[in-house]
Structure 1
Amino acid sequence: MSPRVFRDETATTWYDIGFPVSAYIFPHETLLQDVRFDDTYIHLHMTDGRRLSVPLQWIPTLYHAAPSEREKYEIGPNRKMVIWDPDKCAINDELRIDDYLIARPRPSNGRS
């Protein structure tokens, strides 16, 4: 294993890295396994062991819905979405996990 070099303007410092890159796990694909709710968050459990908690306030349709209606979701066939079917509940929405895993630029508000 080769040491990493971190440089600043005055000196070079060498630090040993304790593990090779092959010892780390980098998920290739993120898929939904389970969904849970509490009073504040929707908790998305992924097949790779990660947990993603999204504030319900970020999703107005869920935030304003009754807890019993939130529970009437389906996990999409590609396991990348949580879907509320308006024919089965009072919510009409889809939550895509990639929207909460990948940073996106803020939308322009028309101000310069």
Structure 2
Amino acid sequence: MAILATAADERISDVRIDDDYLTVELMDGRIISAPLAWYPRLLNASPDQRARWERAGGGYGLHWPDLDEDLSTEGLLRGAPARAA
């Protein structure tokens, strides 16, 4: 039996953050959502600080320059919360 698999593209397309969740859209159409409580720097940031994110690592990572916070699609897909300070 043949299985048709499309190529996964784990680069980041868009990011949304509300009061409860970090939601990341990937180029291949997948959506990753994680509790904002897993990322204390984002949880405690202002909406303006949360909105100032940049793609990093060739599109496989996120960086918030105002918060010195970095996340990767690999970690998000594994369900890895931020390390304790």
> TM-score scaled to structure 1, two decimals?
0.63
User: Whose Rg is larger?
Assistant: 1
Mapped to 2, the partners of 1:41 and 1:47 lie a distance apart of: 19
For residue 64 of structure 2, what is the aligned residue in structure 1?
Answer: 84
Displacement of 1:100: 1.8
Percent identical residues: 29
For residue 83 of structure 2, what is the aligned residue in structure 1?
Answer: none
Mapped to 1, the partners of 2:24 and 2:8 lie a distance apart of: 17
> TM-score scaled to structure 2, two decimals?
0.81
Displacement of 1:103: 6.1
Alignment length (residue pairs)? 80
Mapped to 2, the partners of 1:27 and 1:37 lie a distance apart of: 27
Displacement of 1:29: 3.5
For residue 53 of structure 1, what is the aligned residue in structure 2?
Answer: 33
Unaligned runs of 5+ in 1: 2-19, 105-112
Q: How big is the alpha-carbon RMSD for the aligned residues of Structure 1 and Structure 2?
A: 1.8
Q: Secondary structure at the match of 1:49?
A: coil
Displacement of 1:66: 1.0
Task: Determine which structure has the larger helix proportion and give its number.
Answer: 2
